[in-house]
Amino acid sequence: MNITVTINGQKRTLEIEYGDMLTEVLRKAGYVEVKKGCDTGNCGVCTVLLDGTPIPSCSFLALRADGREITTIRGVEKEAAQFADFLTAEGADQCGFCSPGFAITVLAMKRELGNPDEATMKHYLAGNLCRCSGYEGQLRAVKKYLEVSHGESI
C-alpha cells in the first residue's frame, strides 16, 4: 500500500507493507538520522514527532502515519544544533547514537512543559537511554539549554 506523509515539512508518498514499522520505512526513505536501537520501544533512540507528539517509531505501524506529519531531528535542525552545543559543553555527547532521539524528546518536553523542575525532567526523559554518559552530563545540558531557550518556540 502507499501512504502519504509529511516528513520535515515535505510531502512524501511511500510504498509500505502492512506490517512495516515506521523506523524502517523512514530509514529506507533516506531518513537515516532515525536510529534503530532496541527495536522494542524501550530505548528511545528512534523517537520522532508524530503531529508534534514524541513516539518510538520502532513501535508504530507505518500505515498509521498516512496523512500525518512526521518530524525527525533534521526537521528541527536549528534547535537540535543549539541543544547539541550544550551536550558537548557538558561532555555528554559521547558516541552520539542516542542523541537524535534524545534531542527530539527534549524539544518535545520544552514545547509541552517549558522549563520544568528536575524531577519532571527526569520523569519525562526516562524513556531515552544512554549507555555512555551516565545521564548527569545530559541533565546538566538539558537544564542549561532550557534556562536560556525555554521562551523560544520550536
Is residue 2 a contact residue for another protein (CB under 8 A)?
no
The residue assigned the cell 538520522 is 33
Is residue 38 a contact residue for another protein (CB under 8 A)?
no
Number of C-beta neighbours around residue 81 at 10 A = 11
- Helix-strand-coil percent breakdown of the chain, rounded to 5? 45, 15, 40
| Contact range with another protein by CB under 8 A, out of 15-23, 72-80, 81-89, 144-152 | 15-23
Number of C-beta neighbours around residue 95 at 10 A = 10
| Contact range with another protein by CB under 8 A, out of 29-37, 56-64, 72-80, 140-148 | 56-64
CB-side neighbour CA atoms (13 Å) of 81: 5
Residues 6+ apart with CB under 8 A from 102: 44, 45, 47, 125, 128, 130, 138
Interface pick for another protein out of 17, 77, 118, 147 (rule CB under 8 A): 17
Is residue 109 a contact residue for another protein (CB under 8 A)?
yes
Interface pick for another protein out of 54, 100, 116, 137 (rule CB under 8 A): 54
Tell me how far apart the terminal alpha carbons of the chain are, to the nearest angstrom: 33
Is residue 56 a contact residue for another protein (CB under 8 A)?
yes
Site for another protein in 59-78 (CB under 8 A): 59-61, 63-64
Is residue 115 a contact residue for another protein (CB under 8 A)?
no
| Contact range with another protein by CB under 8 A, out of 27-35, 75-83, 104-112, 143-151 | 104-112
